[in-house]
Structure 1
Amino acid sequence: MAVALCTAALPFGLKAAEPQVVLPATAQGWAELALQDIEAAYQITAENHPGMADAQNPNFHRQLLHAKTNALLLVPQVNSAYG
């Protein structure tokens, strides 16, 4: 019985341990978050995408950098979660 109670309570305990997400309250905050997302997406892709080592696609890195540059140009327009 004690094991059943502990097991039943486990999902609730895990919920309490999850970090709380704090969303930006201002347009500037959303723009900063977008910038962080773009930087992280670029870094994760550069470190993990097989295209970085694909001899048949030597321009992959340049295309990835171009995509990052274009995304960064849009950051000033971000002012909400939708943006």
Structure 2
Amino acid sequence: MKWYHYLDCYLAGVFLIHIVPHIMNGISLMNVLGIVVSLGGGCLLLWAGKFSFKDPLAVILLLAGAASVLIFNTMHHHHPHLHTTAPSTD
């Protein structure tokens, strides 16, 4: 495989791991759209990357893409539903 096929496998891992938070947040229109985009993009990248379980480097890069997102999210944990308000100046 060429180098860009391996890059596609890495990026497929990045896309596919984004399905998890959408599933965990429940069923809403935005979550369903997020799942469809992530799954569609990930599958297209797997196809473009000529992914095969027989190629150990492709599997490692797929897992590395998923792991890099998990590591990044762990290091930069945010609370999207917690809003900080400025103290009142009464």
Superposition TM-score, scaled by structure 2 size? 0.34
Whichever of the two has the greater Rg, that structure is 1
Superposition TM-score, scaled by structure 1 size? 0.36
